[in-house]
Amino acid sequence: MNQEARRVVDEPQPIAPVAAIGQAGRPVRKDEIVIDERGLYVESWLPERRSRRKPLYLLHGELGGSWLWERYLGYFARRGWEGHALNLRGHFWSETGELAELTFDSYLEDAIAGAERLNRPPVVIGHGMGGLLALKLAEVHEVAGLVLIAPALPVELRDPGPPEPARATPPIYRQDVIGWQGPLDHVRRQNPDLSVEDVMRIHHFLSAESAAARRAVLEGVPVDRERLRELSMLVIGGGLDRQFREADSERLADWLGAHYEPFGAHSHYGLVLGEATYEQVADAIRGFLEAHKL
C-alpha cells in the first residue's frame, strides 16, 4: 500500500516515551502489518525482545482508529506484550473506503483478515462496536481470550421495542451523531475525566463512519455464546459512559459468564485514552492477562 492510498491525516505523536527505565519501562519498537488485498493497515508496538505472552489484537469502535490505542500499545509493549491495532477500512491509516457501502459484516471480514496475519491466537481487545466485532471474531477464528471495553450489546441482550432511529442517520456520519459536537467546554462537562488535551485529540482524530454498520449494531447482531464458553473473558464498563451504559456492560458479563470490572468515574474514551484514567484500566487488564497466563 503506498502513502497516497492511505487516508490523509496528521500522524499522532507518541503520548509516552517509547523507551523508559525500570521494570515497567522495557524498550519498545514499532512495526506495521499491511494487508494490501483489503487496504488494511495494522499498527504494531512490540517489546524489544520477543515474549512468550499472547499477542494483543485491538479493535476500535465507530469513528475510531489505531490512534485510540496508543497509550495501551505503549503500556503493554513496555511490559512484554506485543500489540497490534487494526484500522478498519476507511479509518485512519487504512485505505479510504466507500463508507456508505461498508457494513458491520465487511468490518468483521477486516477483523478476520487482520487476525489471520498474526503468528499466534491473540487476546482480542475491543472498544464499543469493536467489542461486538471481537465477540463475532471469536466465533469463527481461534483466539486466546477476550477483553471487551464498554462493548456494544448483541441482539440477545437488546431491550425489546424499536431501536434507536438510526435509519435517519446519513449514509456517512460524523462525531455529532455520538454526542461529540459543540464547544470544547460542553464536551468536557460531559466527559469530566478527560483533560483538555484528551478532548482536543479525540476531536481531531474522530473520523467518518458507515451508517449501515451503526444500524446493524443498533438493530442487533446475534452472538453464539456457546462457542465462547471455554474462553477467558473480561468485560469493563464505565460509569460515565453515555454511549454504552455501564449497567449494560455488567449484563453482558453476566450473560457471557465473564469477569466484570466497573470503573465508575470513567467515560467511554476515558477508559482507553484518558491521560489520568487509562492506566487504571490497563492495570486491570494486565491483572486479568497475568491471572490467566495470557
Q: What is the pLDDT of residues 18-60, one digit of tens each?
A: 333 234 567 799 999 999 999 999 999 999 888 889 999 999 9
Pull the grid cell for residue 226.
456457546
- Using CA atoms, how far apart are residues 136 and 152, in angstroms rounded to an integer? 12
Q: What was the pLDDT predicted at 181?
A: 85
Is the per-residue pLDDT at 1 higher than 70?
Answer: no
pLDDT tens sequence across 109-148: 999 999 999 989 999 999 999 999 999 999 999 999 999 9
With 0-12 CB in 10 A as exposed, 13-18 as middle and 19+ as buried, what is 183? exposed
pLDDT of the residue at 167: 63
pLDDT at 164: 58
Q: Which sequence spans correspond to the domains of the chain?
A: 18-291
pLDDT tens sequence across 56-72:
999 999 999 999 999 99
Q: What is the per-residue pLDDT for 5?
A: 37
pLDDT at position 163: 57
Alpha carbon distance 167, 183 (integer Å) = 27
| pLDDT value, residue 170 | 85
In 3D space, the residue among 40, 43, 42 whose CA is nearest the CA of residue 29 turns out to be: 43
Share of the chain above pLDDT 90, in %: 78
The architecture CATH gives domain 18-291: 3-Layer(aba) Sandwich (3.40)
Hey, what's the cell of 173? 456520519
Entry field: residues in the chain? 294
Give all strands (DSSP E) within the chain, no chain letters: 28-35, 40-47, 56-59, 83-87, 123-127, 145-149, 172-173, 209-210, 232-238, 259-263
Which range among 74-83, 213-222, 226-235 shows the weakest confidence by mean pLDDT? 213-222
| Weakest-pLDDT range from 63-72, 174-183, 187-196 | 174-183
